[in-house]
Amino acid sequence: MSRWILRGLKKGIITSRFPKNEPETISPWSTLPVYMKNSYKGCPTDAIHNNEVDLRRCISCGRCSSSFSPSLNVNNSIILRSERYLKKSLKIYVLDAGSCGACNTELHALSNPFYDMNRLGIFFVNTPKQADALFVIGVLSEQMKRVVKEAYDIMAEPKLVFAMGACPASGNILGSSLSGILDADVIIGGCPPDPFVILNAIMNARGDVS
């Protein structure tokens, strides 16, 4: 065991200072593209209107790179409802409704020492009964619609629903969105959203940062 501790000490502190400081890094094309020059007509999801990008539709494909460049902005979410009672501690239940796997592993990354979500009072739980927030990832497959509803119904109040990534936000290029099944309180853009974007959305949804 002592060799593990020694190794840890040698590495020093690697945990981010976010949200106090700016994120140390961000995945460029997972942030919202901003207009630079010329017009671009080939967006596969019709996310661009009047040279502005709809974060719900953008699938981070980078096809528009001749006219747009990544904003590198961590603020890539829409907060429709926030819940200040969950400021101190937020327990998340993740529900994979038809994901490609990348949103799953980005959520898993939140517990790595770089992000260390526990320091911000964010935890994963293994049952929706103990959860304050339901994170829906992936497009809504027919069979998972019932499962998503059941999970939501057994959660106690107050509770928040996060539609994480372009899949539940708009259906991506792969299927149906969450809309019509549950009303999302928070929509997180990106395909997949960068871990810092996810953290930022959580903090905003519980009224931590402006």
Query: Sign (positive/negative) of CA torsion 120, 117, 153, 169?
Result: positive
Contact 35, 68 (CB under 8 A): yes
In the complex, residue closest to ligand SF4 by CB:
165
Closest CB 52 distance from another protein, rounded Å: 20
Binding of another protein at residue 60 (CB under 8 A)? yes
Are 131 and 125 within 8 A, CB to CB?
yes
Distance CA 195, CA 107 (A): 7
Binding mask 122-141 for another protein (x = CB under 8 A): --xxxx----------xx-x
33 binds, among ligand SF4, another protein, none (CB under 5 to 8 A by kind): ligand SF4
Question: For ligand SF4, which stretch binds (CB under 6 A), given 4-12, 13-21, 162-170, 195-203?
Answer: 162-170
Cβ–Cβ < 8 Å for 129, 150: no
Minimum distance, C-beta of residue 147 to ligand SF4, in the bound complex (Å) = 16
Q: How many angstroms separate the CA atoms of 196 and 202, rounded?
A: 10
Ramachandran area for residue 145 (φ above 0: left; ψ -120 to 50: alpha; else beta):
alpha
Cα–Cα distance for residue pair 190/183, rounded to 1 Å? 19
Residues 26-85, interacting with ligand SF4 (CB under 6 A): 33, 43-45, 47-48, 53, 58-64, 68
Whether the bond between 23 and the residue before it is cis, its omega within 30 degrees of 0, is no
Stretch that binds another protein, among 79-87, 95-103, 178-186, 196-204 (CB under 8 A): 95-103
For position 109 contacting ligand SF4 by CB under 6 A, the verdict is: no
Among 73, 112, 183, 209, binds another protein (CB under 8 A): 112
Q: Where are the alpha helices (DSSP H) in the chain?
A: 2-11, 102-109, 142-153, 166-170, 195-205
User: How much of the chain is helix, strand and coil, in % rounded to 5?
Assistant: 30, 20, 55
Smallest separation (angstroms) from another protein to the CB of 84? 26
Using the contact rule CB under 8 A, the part of the chain among 50-58, 76-84, 106-114, 199-207 near another protein is 106-114
Residues within the interface to another protein (CB under 8 A): 1, 3-5, 7-8, 11, 14, 25-30, 44, 59-63, 65, 70, 93-106, 108-109, 111-115, 124-127, 138-139, 141, 143-144, 147, 151, 172-175, 191-192, 194
